[in-house]
Amino acid sequence: MITITRKLEFDAGHRIPDHRSQCRNLHGHRYVLEITLAGEVSRESGASDNGMVMDFADVKALANEHLVSVWDHAFLVYEGDTAVRNFLDTMPEHKTVVFDRVPTVENLAAAAFDKLSHVFDAHYGRDLRLVRLRLYETPNCWSEVTA
C-alpha cells in the first residue's frame, strides 16, 4: 500500500458555547484539511491515473463536493446552541451547518472523516481507503482521525 495526502483550505465560523475563554464568542478560522488515502497504485495502461493511487485532482474535486464547499464560509453551529441558531435564523439564506455536537476541531475532524470515508473508500473499485484526516484549526492546533 502507498499513501497520498491532499491538503485543502476553507474558512468557517463557530463558537464553543460552554468554553471558559474567548472561544465562547463567535469567531472564525482558516481551517486546513489534510486527507490521506491508502491504496494500490493503478497499473491500467492508458488510464489518466495510471501510476497513481488516485489523481490529486479527483481527491480535491470529491472533497470539495462533499465537504469543503458545504463548510466553506459557513457558520458551524451546535444544534443545542439556541441563542446563536435563533440569531442565524434571522438572516435569510445564511450559510449555516448544524451539528449534533459542539463544533470543536475534534468533533469537526470526526464528522469530516465519517463523511469522507464514505466518499473515498473503495472508490473506482480499487482497494482505496481514507486512513487519516487531519484538520488544523490554527497553524499550531489540529485534530487527527485515523482509520
Mean of the pLDDT values across residues 41-70? 93
State yes or no: is 144 an active-site residue.
Answer: no
Q: For 14-81, give the DSSP string.
A: E--TT-SSGGGS-EEEEEEEEEEEEEPPP--TT-TTTT-SS-HHHHHHHHIIIIIHHHTTEEEEETT-
Model pTM?
Answer: 0.94
Task: Give me the catalytic one of 19, 27, 44, 73.
Answer: 73
Task: Give me the catalytic one of 23, 106, 123, 144.
Answer: 23
Query: Which cell goes with 65?
Result: 463536493
Per-residue pLDDT tens digits for 53-67: 999 999 999 999 999
| Sheet-wide strand order for 74-78 | 96-99, 74-78, 2-14, 27-39, 129-138, 141-146
Range with lowest mean pLDDT among 3-12, 42-51, 53-62, 138-147:
42-51
Q: Where are the alpha helices (DSSP H) in 73-136?
A: 82-89, 105-120
Per-residue pLDDT tens digits for 123-143: 766 789 999 999 999 999 999
